[in-house]
Amino acid sequence: MLCTVIDIRGDYAYVRYADTGVVSEVAIALLPFGVDVGDRLKFENYEFTQA
């Protein structure tokens, strides 16, 4: 499932999933190091990786 980081606030990032448009709050510690607003990620097997 692909998503895009749309905002970062403190220890949380907000990601929008491409297939549903749903925005979700994710702890920044669960994301790849150095992630920034606009980055595309892949969520697979309960893990986020760079897309």
pLDDT tens track for 6-43? 999 999 999 999 999 999 999 999 999 999 999 999 99
Range of the domain at 31: 2-50
The sheet with strand 12-17 has its strands ordered as 23-27, 12-17, 2-9, 40-44, 47-50
pLDDT tens track for 18-27? 999 999 999 9
- What's the number of domains the chain is made of? 1
* Residue 18: CA count within 13 A, CB half-sphere: 11
Using DSSP, state whether 23 is helix, strand or coil.
Answer: strand
